[in-house]
Structure 1
Amino acid sequence: MKSLFFRLRAGAAAALLCGAASSFALNTSTIVSSVMSPDCLEYRVVGICYWLYCTWTGCTVRTSIKVRHYVPDAVVSSYSNTGENPWVEVRSMSPPNASAEDGGDGTTNEDHENNLAKFKNADVIGHPGALVFSEFASSSGYICEGAGTAFMPYLLSTLDTLAWRYNVPEAVYPEALTPGLREVGARTSLNLWGNVYPRGGFLHQTDDHKAGAVVAQRAGDIVTRRGQVHVYQPLLASARPGYWPAGALKEGDASTGKWQELTPTLSNSCVVFPHSGTLTQAKQGDYAWALWRPYACCERQGQVFLGSVDFQ
């Protein structure tokens, strides 16, 4: 009887623990359903493409419309505790290891302390909602392909230890040493969220949500460029006739990419950092955003692409 009681109590405790974890966790089904956002999609017809179509009887010029819209390429997680990505199904991709353990703030989170040294891990993983997004976006017309592959890890900070935890070599880059250069926000507007460089996990910021956003911006900055001194793989597509993929992400510039908050609150709209919206603080210091990036394309209507004209 006593052993049965202990088993029942252990089972109840485990159930409560799972319930508590799930209330703060982000799962794949929630991420997939979040792609149905007209605000983030921002679908537009922007021009006309010209194609040369030839058969044995001769050649003609055909046209197709040129469209531009955003695609959810990746989920970018920024979180305090190593191994605890808020997206529960991918946690096993970035467990603690001998060179990347622990995490969190430099001091305790007391109200009178206003100079906290924050640390965040970051993971950039391919967005899992491509199929649902295609069905949703195709109702607007012809759609463009994004660069992301579902569940593909593009950056896991636990594997990028030297750069992410020690800021080597970016601590001596001009962008890291020059005030006002490559910053999220601005001192002049009294809305400085943090510096993009060095692109690692440490920064000073009293607001935990802003700290998480800056670290997410850093991770997005890395993966949307080639040849960076980090352990990662580029989240980039190659241009081809009739297809203009997204380029490098730039802070504060929506024409290079924008962010949809997934946790701690699920948003149906996209923003750039910094923004004036409500900032909900995550109880465990874990945040995640979908990174939407702009693509333009037109349907192939011939063998040779002659060019395109954009509307004013």
Structure 2
Amino acid sequence: MKASHRKWRASLAACLLSIAIPAFALDTATITGSVLSPDCIAYRVRGICYWLLCTLTGCSVETSVKVAHYVPDAVVSSYSNTGENPWVEVRALSQPNASAEGGGDGTTNEEHENNLAKFKNADVIGHPGATLFSQFISQWGYSCAGAGTAFMPYLLSTLDTVAWRYNVPESLYPEALIPGRREIGTRAGLNLWGNVYPRGGFLHHVDDYKAAAVVAQRAGDIVTRRGQVHVYQPLLANGRDGYWPAGALMESDAATGKWQELTPTLKNTCAVFPHSESRVQSQRGDYAWALWRPYSCCERKGQIFLGSVDFN
């Protein structure tokens, strides 16, 4: 494919995605198309890998380019009404059950008060756009595999009742009790969105978008770690020679992951929480983001990996 054609296709995709489209229900086709985002991919050449290649005639040191980019590993939905994931094709995975029936915000029955109590369900499900993503990123060269499997449920809060609805045992963790620990934003910066711990569905907030984002961050925090006291599957890949997968997600740190809004508006850019971008409040309290995570890799050129050097 000619370079000019590739640039035209990338520009067209960016233009199409740059329009913020109101989305009352999110479908797989829309999610799949959202991977055409050069801003989220952030592809770059990171360094050089060295390999020892041995044949019958001797051994030599070979090199390959080390690349780095983000991969859309999962779709993280944060929504008020149990059983109503905004991603319509996967709603059947998280229907109400005997231990997880209700949802939504609290009420005080006092007209002069604002009840800040909110509850959000959260689902983390493998991103369905892997094939289109691979085709799109091939225009830049070698690419890295992500950890996610399409449509795989990594966390369904309806199955994580004790931890998600009762905050047991995380309500007693130091991160939940000590102000300033594991918070999204800062008080000094006047941009505090909320606390990561306890990693459940309840929080107090006046802004529904920010509340949903905090819950999405909590869900992402859980699935990108092993051995957490939740019902989930880790969204992690194992490192190997020439492959450096994403690790634990940390709030406000793009080097560990970033978010692309899918609904109520579809955006072609990625950001971390908190951010200053425009925010649309969902009428039904349902939101979804694609979680993009950073990977580095290089093509194998020999039997033994000797190491790599990163460019400054």
- TM-score, normalised to structure 2's length? 0.91
One-letter code aligned to 2:62 = R
The secondary structure found in structure 2 opposite 1:24 is coil
The answer as to whether partners of 2:49 and 2:64 remain within 8 angstroms in 1 is yes
One-letter code aligned to 2:95 = P
One-letter code aligned to 1:252 = S
One-letter code aligned to 1:102 = G
One-letter code aligned to 2:299 = E
Deviations 1:217-237 (A, max 9, x none): 000000000000000000000
Aligned to 2:133: 133
Aligned to 2:239: 239
The secondary structure found in structure 2 opposite 1:219 is helix
Deviation at residue 102 of structure 1 after TM alignment: 1.1
User: Separation in 2 of the partners of 1:74 and 1:23?
Assistant: 19
One-letter code aligned to 1:168 = V
- What percent identity do the matched residue pairs reach? 79
The answer as to whether partners of 2:50 and 2:63 remain within 8 angstroms in 1 is yes
1:282 is the counterpart of 2:276: no
The answer as to whether partners of 2:23 and 2:263 remain within 8 angstroms in 1 is no
Aligned to 1:150: 150
1:167 is the counterpart of 2:167: yes
Q: How does 1:7-18 map to 2 (within 5 A)?
A: none
User: Separation in 2 of the partners of 1:31 and 1:111?
Assistant: 40
1:253 is the counterpart of 2:253: yes
One-letter code aligned to 2:57 = T
One-letter code aligned to 1:144 = C
1:110 and 1:267, CA in 2 relative to 1: closer, same or farther beyond 3 A? farther
Q: How does 1:285-296 map to 2 (within 5 A)?
A: 285-296=285-296
Aligned to 1:34: 34
The answer as to whether partners of 2:76 and 2:124 remain within 8 angstroms in 1 is yes
1:102 and 1:303, CA in 2 relative to 1: closer, same or farther beyond 3 A? same
1:175 and 1:263, CA in 2 relative to 1: closer, same or farther beyond 3 A? same
The secondary structure found in structure 2 opposite 1:239 is coil
Bigger drift between 134-143 and 211-220 goes to: 134-143
Bigger radius of gyration among the two: 1
One-letter code aligned to 1:257 = G
Where do 5+ consecutive residues of structure 1 fail to align? 1-21
The answer as to whether partners of 2:23 and 2:266 remain within 8 angstroms in 1 is no
Deviations 1:144-171 (A, max 9, x none): 0000000000000000000000000000
1:109 and 1:53, CA in 2 relative to 1: closer, same or farther beyond 3 A? farther
1:110 and 1:279, CA in 2 relative to 1: closer, same or farther beyond 3 A? farther
Deviation at residue 107 of structure 1 after TM alignment: 1.7
User: Separation in 1 of the partners of 2:207 and 2:278?
Assistant: 12
User: Separation in 2 of the partners of 1:262 and 1:108?
Assistant: 32
1:157 and 1:43, CA in 2 relative to 1: closer, same or farther beyond 3 A? same
Aligned to 1:45: 45
Task: Tell me the number of residue pairs that the alignment of Structure 1 and Structure 2 aligns.
Answer: 291
The secondary structure found in structure 2 opposite 1:226 is coil
Aligned to 1:88: 88
1:124 is the counterpart of 2:124: yes
One-letter code aligned to 1:44 = R
User: Separation in 1 of the partners of 2:78 and 2:113?
Assistant: 22
1:175 and 1:59, CA in 2 relative to 1: closer, same or farther beyond 3 A? same
The secondary structure found in structure 1 opposite 2:133 is helix
The answer as to whether partners of 2:23 and 2:264 remain within 8 angstroms in 1 is no
Deviation at residue 113 of structure 1 after TM alignment: 3.8
The answer as to whether partners of 2:23 and 2:265 remain within 8 angstroms in 1 is no
One-letter code aligned to 1:153 = P
